[in-house]
Amino acid sequence: MLPIARKKRSAAQRAAFQKRAAALRVRRAAQRGAGSALSPKLPPPPSKKNPLRDKPSPPKKDEKEEEEYEVGAERAQACAGCLRSALRGKSPGRCYDAVTKGSRCARCARGKKCMPIPAAALTAANRFLAVRQGREELPAKISLDALRTCVRVLLALAGEDPDADDDDDLAGTPARKKQKRGKNKKEEPEEEEEESSDDDGVPGIDPQAIAAAAAAFAALLTPKKRKKGAK
């Protein structure tokens, strides 16, 4: 008799438990529906922005843009450094006096050598600078590139390197100055040898012949004046 009574009680207990569980599930579902209807919908959280990533990048400077510096009056005769700068297309080749005292021009006063243009290339160089600056015009048969090549050849024949980097716009920056300070002692004897070689000229070439060739080329560039009465 006892085992049968226990089975009936356990079945009754299970039925009561299932009934209470079903009622509890219905009650929780009703609470969830009422809560979702009353609670407002929240907007999505704003996206986090990275200030470093969204910061606009600074505009790039033009490589050919000339560095601004204080200048004095324009010189009647340009130096070799300003001429080489014009040959490279970095500047029109105008040579100005420096604000500080000294014999170097404003461009060369920033840490570069200010050397005169060799006499053999002076006439052609002045004509090139005049055309480059818009003060003169070339004949129709001669282009500016041909005149630039002629000036470069005359500089090379006179012992000057037309591709020397002493006319670089960055030659006077602090970084280049620090590098030059450590090399000044080593380069002093080499500079003396270079100056002496410039005076001697290129071996095997007569300086007078170079000057004559430059004068002949300048005569070809000079337009001939028409005689009065000629049509």
Confidence (pLDDT) at 60? 55
Output the 3-class SS for 119-178.
HHHHHHHHHHHHHHCCCCCCCCCCCHHHHHHHHHHHHHHCCCCCCCHHHCCCCCCHHHHH
3-state secondary structure of 96: strand
3-state secondary structure of 206: coil
Q: How confident is the model at residue 221 (pLDDT cuts 50, 70, 90)?
A: low
Question: Does 214 score more than 70 pLDDT?
Answer: no
pLDDT higher at 108 or 207: 108
Confidence (pLDDT) at 9? 61
Q: Is the pTM of this model over 0.85?
A: no
- Residue-wise pLDDT tens digits, 153-194: 888 888 887 777 654 444 444 444 445 555 555 555 544 444
What mean pLDDT do residues 203-227 have?
Answer: 59
Chain position carrying tokens 């004509």: 127
- Residue-wise pLDDT tens digits, 122-157: 888 998 999 888 888 877 777 888 888 888 888 888
Confidence (pLDDT) at 229? 52
pLDDT higher at 210 or 226: 210
Q: How confident is the model at residue 216 (pLDDT cuts 50, 70, 90)?
A: low
- Residue-wise pLDDT tens digits, 32-85: 776 665 566 677 777 776 666 656 666 554 444 445 567 788 888 999 888 888
Confidence (pLDDT) at 224? 55
- Residue-wise pLDDT tens digits, 83-124: 888 888 888 888 888 887 777 888 887 777 788 898 888 888
3-state secondary structure of 74: strand
